[in-house]
Amino acid sequence: MKRTIKSISGPSTIDGVVPGVRGQSAFPNRELKSMNPFVMLDHIGEQHVGADYFVDGSDSAHPHRGFETVTFLFEGIMDHKDSLGNQVRLRSGDVQRMNAGSGIQHGGDFRSDPHSQLFHEVQLWVNLPAKEKMSIPGIFNAKVHDIPVYDLEHGKIRVIGGAFEGLEGPIRTIQPTRLLHAISKQNQKMTISEIASDHNMLIYVLKGNIRIEDQEISQHQAISLNNEGDHLDLELLDKSQVLIVSGKPIDEPVVMGGPFVMNTAQEIDQAFEDFQAGKFGAVK
């Protein structure tokens, strides 16, 4: 059985998340509140920012607790620093998974890609079940050459997390997910198969236009899918890119408070108290 469209939603504007680069949020917004277990998808760029583009992140440190971030750096350079003492440079095509767990602070500098002079990034928040919300924080970085690629006639699918057509992505979130990045050079039909029956699924159009069920869907729109079915047929039109994400939902209350995602308002209050008491460490 084939998965079908449940809803199509547009983005809300979030300019200023990365200074000087336009941004849009696929969710949460008025049209699409969430996509359990995913609680946020922010899309920064794609934008030509020039060879001299640089954002000094010395004052950008901020805290998180209770979820994981997956940062897809499609174009650009990001120098990540965190309160665990990690200092990592991510380049175009790299992906980072960060478990905020019980609490972490992070920040960093941003630069354009030295060849294309573009900056383009997505950050996806993946909720943690209650038993993992106070887990030990940490990061994992996948370099572009670590990410397996499934070749198509006129494009490719980067298998970032989960399994696809015998390939296994390097990003492994605590809550089970599959994370695919599809890219076309010209019109390309594809089938996304082996969709887990208990996974919610979302398609986000990064660039260009796509077609599902004879319906054309444009850049920056998000498509949520009905849960029945184990495969999806879609077509990328011309030079297009999409994120295809699916994950096992968490049957627990979700309370978001700024940079924290917990199960109750009291836990959000405690997170702010712990942060103000210095329990999240410092970025040096």
Residue 171's pLDDT is 98
Q: Please, which residues have CB within 8 angstroms of residue 278's CB and are 6 or more apart in sequence?
A: none
* pLDDT score recorded for residue 60: 86
Instruction: Look up tokens 């209350």; give the residue.
Output: 253
Strand partners, 72: 95, 122
Quote the CA–CA distance of 247 and 67 in Å, as a whole number. 14
pLDDT of residue 209: 98
Q: What is the pLDDT of residue 16?
A: 86
Q: DSSP letters along the chain, please?
A: -B--EEEEE--EE-TTSSTTS-EEEEESSSS---BTTEEEEEEEEEEE--TT-EE--TT--EEEBSEEEEEEEEESEEEEEETTS-EEEEETT-EEEEE-TT-EEEEEEEE--TTT-EEEEEEEEEE--GGGTTSPPEEEEE-GGGS-EEEETTEEEEEEESEETTEE-SB--SS-EEEEEEEESS-EEEEE----TT-EEEEEEEEEEEEETTEEEETT-EEEE-S--SBEEEEEEEEEEEEEEEE----S--EEETTEEESSHHHHHHHHHHHHTTTT----
Question: For position 10, what pLDDT does the model report?
Answer: 96
pLDDT along the chain (284 residues), means of 10: 96 92 94 94 97 92 97 98 97 98 97 98 98 98 98 98 98 98 98 96 98 97 96 97 98 97 98 97 92
Residue 106's pLDDT is: 97
Whole-model pTM over 0.85 = yes
